[in-house]
């Protein structure tokens, strides 16, 4: 029996060695910490997990850009969200979170679409401001019913110092719609959390309280930090409204730019995901008494 276990253990270790052999030396050294052979009585056989993502590596985990684009802004359905930088970061731009939204695609729902400025080497050398201006014009020309645009900056944009703020301000005036610059370069944070904060700050500075709803009521509430993954926000809204509350805003599942602009008028914020939305809720409590 012991001999069979030894043979099985040797075969497993050989399989692990074969898997690791496919990696370059540096990556192999890092990857080896995540694969191990479980042996009876081995106290040091645990694998290394729950470690922070290294900025620049393609991973299913997130960065600041992923938190801003993939979580907070992505589900706002009547805005076009531009991934400003190389196309590779489109991984977090194209429907991978199952954010459901009602509406007509290309008219008042752009959630499943990907928009990118597709940076090349020339843009890194000479800057991408002109390309961003052109892209904003193309968005408005192709989708005249779009209510706003967000510019989500990727790592190279921050490294070369592109001024997305001035471009956004200039194009907002030209096109007549809000254009929100979001400084969410991935290297700013090695988890999504900082991206949530950056995105909320952008909403606060450029959208919140920019409009007034004509019919505020005493039972108006916002559902904050629900991204309608698989339609969960719709179920929550149904329950809350059967209780007699009126859900005016969802942040940001199946959301609209007008919801973000008028959210300062509600009486109560109901926070679903505290980690991603505590910043904006704290601001609204201090500024508007919500």
Among 64, 84, 89, 97, the one annotated catalytic: 97
Give the integer Cα–Cα distance in Å for 184 and 71: 12
Annotated catalytic residue: which of 81, 196, 197, 264? 196
Is residue 97 flagged as an active site residue?
yes
275 is catalytic: no
Name the DSSP class of 259: H
272 flagged as catalytic: no
Q: E strands within the chain?
A: 79-84, 115-116, 148-153, 179-182, 220-226, 246-252, 268-271
Dihedral over alpha carbons 98, 99, 100, 106 (to 10 degrees): -110
Which position among 66, 89, 101, 184 bears the catalytic label? 66
Name the helix (H) or strand (E) containing 100: none
Report CA-CA distances (Å) from 115 to 89, 143, 177: 11, 12, 17
Q: Give the chain's radius of gyration (CA, Å).
A: 23
Cβ neighbours for 124, distance < 8 A, ≥ 6 positions apart: 156, 160
Q: Is residue 196 annotated as part of the catalytic site, yes or no?
A: yes
Residue with the two structure tokens 């890194």: 124
Q: Write out the catalytic residue numbers.
A: 63, 66, 97, 196
């Amino acid at each position: 029996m012991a001999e069979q276990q030894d043979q099985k253990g040797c075969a497993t270790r050989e399989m692990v060695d074969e898997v690791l052999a496919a990696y370059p030396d540096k990556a192999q050294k890092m990857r080896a910490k995540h694969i191990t052979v479980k042996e009876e009585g081995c106290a040091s056989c645990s694998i290394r997990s729950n470690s922070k993502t290294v900025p620049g590596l393609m991973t299913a985990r997130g960065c600041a850009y992923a938190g801003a684009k993939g979580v907070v802004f992505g589900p706002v359905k009547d805005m076009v969200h531009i991934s400003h930088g190389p196309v590779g970061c489109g991984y977090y731009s194209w429907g991978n979170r199952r954010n459901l939204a009602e509406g007509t695609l290309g008219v008042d729902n752009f959630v499943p679409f990907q928009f990118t400025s597709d940076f090349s080497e020339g843009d890194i050398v000479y800057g991408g401001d002109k390309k961003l201006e052109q892209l904003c014009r193309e968005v408005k020309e192709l989708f005249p019913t779009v209510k706003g645009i967000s510019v989500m900056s990727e790592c190279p944009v921050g490294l070369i110092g592109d001024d997305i703020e001035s471009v956004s301000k200039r194009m907002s005036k030209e096109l007549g719609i809000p254009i929100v610059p979001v400084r969410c370069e991935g290297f700013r944070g090695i988890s999504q959390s900082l991206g949530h904060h950056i995105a909320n700050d952008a909403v606060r500075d450029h959208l919140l309280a920019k409009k007034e709803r004509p019919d505020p009521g005493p039972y108006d509430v916002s559902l904050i930090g629900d991204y309608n993954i698989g339609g969960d926000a719709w179920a929550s809204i149904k329950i809350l409204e059967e209780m007699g509350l009126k859900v005016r805003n969802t942040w940001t599942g199946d959301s609209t730019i007008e919801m973000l602009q008028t959210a300062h008028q509600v009486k109560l914020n109901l926070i679903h995901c505290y980690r991603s939305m505590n910043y904006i809720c704290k601001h609204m409590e201090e500024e508007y008494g919500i």
